[in-house]
C-alpha cells in the first residue's frame, strides 16, 4: 500500500483517515497543525498525540517533510536549497530575505517541458508534477531551516505552474488558509511562460494573487527563438489572455523581461515593447539575464539595461530592474540540481 503524504491532505481527509484508524475525529486538527503550521519532520515531534496513534500514523503515512540534500548561501542572505523527494528526485527552492519580510521561490514540477532556451530547469525535460503537499513542504522546510517566517511565496522555480494548475491551486488554498500558514493571497505570485488556457483558467478563479508572465520579447519573431511555447500561443493571444485576467480579477499583471545581449535589448525593441503594453494594467520587471553554463546567451550590460528602462518609462510603463540576489550561488532555476546527481534516498520519517 502506498504511504499517505499527510501534507497533501485537508482536515476532512485526515478525519477520514482517523475514522479508518478507529481514532476520534478531533485528532485531525491536531495533526494538521503539526504538519501544516509547525512543519513536523517526524511523528515523534507530535507530543500531544498518544504514542499508539503516532505508531498507527507511522505505519500508513509520512508527515511529508522534505530532506535538504544541499544548501548554498550567499553573502546577501539568499539561500538555495535542493530538497529530496520521496522517489529519489529533487527540486530547488530559493529563500530571499528582504527588509519588508522573507520571500520564497518554490518549484511546482520536477524539471520542465516548456523548453525555454535560457533556462536550466528545462534541460532534461519534465520528470513529473509535484503534489500540493510537496510544494507546501518547501515553505515549511525553509522555515524550519532558517527559523524565520515566510511572508510571501513565488511559484517561479522549476516547472510551469499552469502545466500543474490543479495542484498549484490546491497549494494556494492550503498555504493561505488560517489553519495553514495563513499567508495572504496578495503575497502569492504565480509565474507562467505563457500557457494561455492556464491563464484563463486562473482568471476564472478570481484570486487576489499576482500573475507574472515571462514575456522576454516584444514580438513573435524574437520570442519564438527563445520560448517554444510562443509557437502555440503567440504574443497576441497571450496579451488577450492577460487582458482577460486583469478584467476578471482587477489585478495588475507583472511582465518579466530577461535582457539578453544583442537579442532583445535594443532601443527599438524597448519602444516596441512599450507600444505592446500601452494601456495594459501592468508592471515590467527587467531582469539582467542570469547566465547558465549550458546556454550561450549573455546578459545585457548595465548601460543597455538603463537605456531600455528609460525608453519604457518614456512610453508610460511602470518599470523596475530586478535587484540581483544570490548571483554567487547560481540562484537561477535548475542550476544546483544539475550540479548534484539524482538518486538520493529519502529516509523514512516516524
**Which contiguous run of DSSP H or E holds residue 286?**
strand 282-288
For the chain, the farthest-separated pair of C-alpha atoms sits apart, in whole angstroms, at: 70
**φ, ψ (nearest 5 deg) of residue 170:** -65, -40
> Which DSSP string do the residues of 80-94 spell out, in sequence order?
EEEEEPTTS-EEEEE
How many Å apart are CA 336 and CA 74, to the nearest integer? Answer: 13
DSSP state of 177: S
Quick check: helix, strand or coil at residue 256?
Answer: strand
216 with 227: CB under 8 angstroms?
yes
Cα distance between residue 175 and residue 74, in whole Å: 27
* Alpha-carbon distances, residue 19 vs 24, 56, 103, 181, 328 (angstroms): 7, 12, 38, 26, 51
**SS3 call for 207:** coil
**What is the gyration radius of the CA atoms in the chain, in angstroms?**
21
The grid coordinates listed for 271 are 519602444
Residues 61 and 20: their CA atoms lie apart, in Å, by: 13
Q: Which of 105, 116, 193, 333 is catalytic?
A: 333
Q: Which three cell numbers stand for residue 131?
A: 503534489
Q: Which of 15, 23, 92, 272 is catalytic?
A: 92
Q: Which residues does residue 71 pair with via DSSP β-bridges, in sequence order?
A: 81
Per the annotation, the verdict on 342 as an active-site residue is: no
Residues 6 or more apart whose CB falls under 8 angstroms from that of 313 comprise: 319
Q: Could you give the count of Cα atoms lying within 13 Å of 148 in the half-sphere of its Cβ? A: 17
Cell numbers standing for residue 23: 481514532
Burial label, 67 (beta-carbon count in 10 A; 0-12, 13-18, 19+): middle
Query: Can 160 be counted among the known catalytic residues?
Result: no
* Residues with catalytic function: 92, 333
Amino acid at each position: 500500500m502506498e504511504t499517505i503524504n499527510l501534507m497533501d491532505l485537508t482536515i476532512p481527509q485526515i478525519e477520514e483517515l482517523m475514522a479508518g484508524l478507529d481514532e476520534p475525529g478531533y485528532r485531525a486538527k491536531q495533526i494538521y497543525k503539526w504538519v501544516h503550521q509547525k512543519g513536523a519532520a517526524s511523528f515523534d515531534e507530535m507530543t500531544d498525540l498518544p504514542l499508539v496513534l503516532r505508531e498507527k500514523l507511522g505505519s500508513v503515512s509520512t508527515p511529508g517533510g522534505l530532506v535538504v540534500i544541499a544548501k548554498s548561501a550567499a553573502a546577501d542572505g539568499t539561500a538555495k536549497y535542493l530538497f529530496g523527494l520521496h522517489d529519489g528526485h529533487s527540486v530547488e527552492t530559493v529563500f530571499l530575505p528582504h527588509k519588508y519580510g522573507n520571500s520564497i521561490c518554490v518549484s511546482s514540477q520536477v524539471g520542465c517541458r516548456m523548453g525555454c532556451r535560457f533556462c536550466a530547469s528545462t534541460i532534461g525535460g519534465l520528470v513529473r508534477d509535484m503534489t500540493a503537499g510537496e510544494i507546501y513542504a518547501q515553505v515549511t522546510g525553509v522555515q524550519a531551516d532558517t527559523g524565520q517566517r515566510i511572508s510571501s511565496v513565488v511559484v517561479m522555480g522549476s516547472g510551469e505552474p499552469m502545466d500543474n494548475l490543479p495542484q498549484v491551486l490546491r497549494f494556494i488554498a492550503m498555504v493561505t488558509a488560517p489553519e495553514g500558514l495563513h499567508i495572504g493571497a496578495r503575497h502569492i505570485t504565480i509565474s507562467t511562460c505563457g500557457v494561455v488556457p492556464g491563464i484563463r483558467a486562473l482568471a476564472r478563479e478570481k484570486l487576489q494573487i499576482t500573475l507574472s508572465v515571462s514575456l522576454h520579447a516584444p514580438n513573435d519573431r524574437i520570442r519564438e527563438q527563445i520560448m517554444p511555447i510562443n509557437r502555440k500561443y503567440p504574443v497576441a493571444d497571450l496579451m488577450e489572455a492577460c487582458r482577460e485576467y486583469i478584467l476578471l480579477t482587477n489585478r495588475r499583471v507583472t511582465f518579466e523581461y530577461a535582457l539578453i545581449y544583442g537579442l532583445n535589448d535594443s532601443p527599438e525593441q524597448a519602444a516596441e515593447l512599450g507600444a505592446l503594453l500601452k494601456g495594459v494594467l501592468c508592471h515590467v520587471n527587467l531582469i539582467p539575464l542570469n547566465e547558465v553554463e549550458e546556454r550561450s546567451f549573455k546578459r545585457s550590460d548595465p548601460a543597455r539595461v538603463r537605456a531600455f528602462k528609460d525608453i519604457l518609462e518614456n512610453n508610460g510603463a511602470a518599470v523596475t530592474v530586478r535587484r540581483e540576489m544570490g548571483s554567487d550561488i547560481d540562484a537561477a532555476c535548475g542550476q544546483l540540481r544539475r550540479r548534484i546527481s539524482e538518486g538520493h534516498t529519502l529516509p523514512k520519517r516516524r
